[in-house]
Amino acid sequence: MNCVRAVIVSIIAAFVWAGVARADDYPNRPITMIVAFPPGGADDATARIIQDPLQKALGQPIVIENVAGAGGTLAAAKAAKATPDGYTVLLHQNSLAAAMTLYPHRTFDAEKDFVTVGLVNTAAGVLAGRGDLPPNNFDELLRWIKTPGLIIKFGHPGVGSWGHLAGVLIAQELGMMVTQIPYRGAGPALVDLLGGQMDLSVQSAIADAALMRDKKLKGYAVVGMKEFSGLPGLKTLGELGYKKLEFDFWHALFAPAGTPRPIIDKLNAALRTAMKDERLLKTFADGGMDRYPDEEMTPEAAAALLKREIPLWGEVIKTNHISEQ
């Protein structure tokens, strides 16, 4: 019996030391960052902004892989199945929390199948309209939406995305009669907004600001907790009196559950270093993004945010009878 115990102890010790060795040697090859939405929106923009400073901090290339579809659940499912060795990470956002209610047949659990690396940023959104939409400001928009028989075409990046859920809440609070039009990402939605195939959409400030300054789109309000310097004078929905519409769009970095804590700590330390890069900070500021304060960049803070947001967006989905179909 003592011999059997000794063998078991030796095997366990071997696995423990192997894990330590992997952590000590990490990273020694390129890392894949899975992004849950296609190019053209805030998710892809955030990934590409942090890519360079993050790979410099880690000393290895970071390869961005866009895995779009099903409100970000395809990307999450792929990341959840990846080997938990630190060489696959996932950049995701509010829709990961929403997926827990919206997609009952999903193949992952947002809390059980991932370990949080850290919070990345918040990004300002904009309630945007096509360039030839009649209202020119928010007050005019409020009057316009009361036009008898008016059904507003409201586009969004996909069912369960932050743009979709934010749009549902906005329509509800402002009293709009809308037809929600889903797209496969923010990029395609923006193309159709520019083309006049829809009336309104919640878009990212970084994607829309220049278009609004060029009068190709109209901006009615910032969707977020604070104003965006790139669109001076445009107030937040909260400042305009709609306190229920005060919420942020955030991004966080995740790794598959089982990734050793020493590797998570290395990833978190690299993320913190990347977030101090001067070029990154300027790009964030120009694009309506804010990094999280140092004290909120721990893996534990990211896990706590995810835990809070799951019931928050779950209630929105249930109350408005939103389904994945």
Q: Is residue 43 situated within a structural domain?
A: yes
pLDDT of residue 84 exceeding 60, the answer is yes
Q: Contact at 8 Å (CB) between 103 and 280?
A: no
Q: What pLDDT, in 10s, does the model give residues 22-71?
A: 688 999 999 999 999 888 778 898 999 999 999 999 999 999 999 988 88
Residue-level pLDDT at 14: 47
Kindly state whether residues 240 and 289 are assigned to the same domain: no
Nearest to 302 by CA among 255, 262, 259: 255
Kindly state whether residues 115 and 172 are assigned to the same domain: no
Residue-level pLDDT at 53: 98
Tally the domains of the chain: 2
Residue-level pLDDT at 323: 87
Kindly state whether residues 115 and 157 are assigned to the same domain: no
Kindly state whether residues 85 and 175 are assigned to the same domain: no
Residues 6+ apart with CB under 8 A from 228: 124, 126, 205, 209, 222, 234, 288
Residue-level pLDDT at 38: 86
Kindly state whether residues 89 and 181 are assigned to the same domain: no
Q: Which two tokens stand for residue 38?
A: 């296609």
Q: What pLDDT, in 10s, does the model give residues 247-286?
A: 889 999 999 999 999 999 999 999 999 999 999 999 988 8
Residue-level pLDDT at 2: 53
Which CATH number do you get for residue 89? 3.40.190.150
Q: What pLDDT, in 10s, does the model give residues 209-235?
A: 889 999 999 999 999 988 888 889 999
C-alpha 202/C-alpha 230 separation (Å) is 16
Q: What pLDDT, in 10s, does the model give residues 149-198?
A: 999 999 998 888 889 999 999 999 999 999 999 998 788 999 999 999 99
Residue-level pLDDT at 19: 47
Residue-level pLDDT at 18: 46
Q: At which of 245, 272, 303 does a domain end?
A: 245
Kindly state whether residues 166 and 257 are assigned to the same domain: no
Q: Is residue 276 situated within a structural domain?
A: yes
Residue-level pLDDT at 56: 98
Kindly state whether residues 88 and 138 are assigned to the same domain: no
Kindly state whether residues 173 and 225 are assigned to the same domain: yes
Q: Contact at 8 Å (CB) between 102 and 159?
A: yes
Bridge-based pairing state of the strands 152-156 and 114-123: unpaired
Q: In the predicted model, what is the mean pLDDT of residues 121-135?
A: 95
Residues 6+ apart with CB under 8 A from 187: 38, 39, 40, 41
Q: At which of 189, 213, 245 does a domain end?
A: 245
Q: What is the DSSP string of 179-226?
A: EEEE-SSHHHHHHHHHTTS-SEEEEEHHHHHHHHHTTSEEEEEEESSS
Domain holding 173, by residue range, is 125-245
Kindly state whether residues 68 and 202 are assigned to the same domain: no
Q: Is residue 157 situated within a structural domain?
A: yes
Q: At which of 223, 245, 267 does a domain end?
A: 245
What's the first-to-final CA gap in the chain, in angstroms?
58
C-alpha 244/C-alpha 12 separation (Å) is 52
Residue-level pLDDT at 17: 45
Which CATH number do you get for residue 129? 3.40.190.10
Kindly state whether residues 291 and 261 are assigned to the same domain: yes
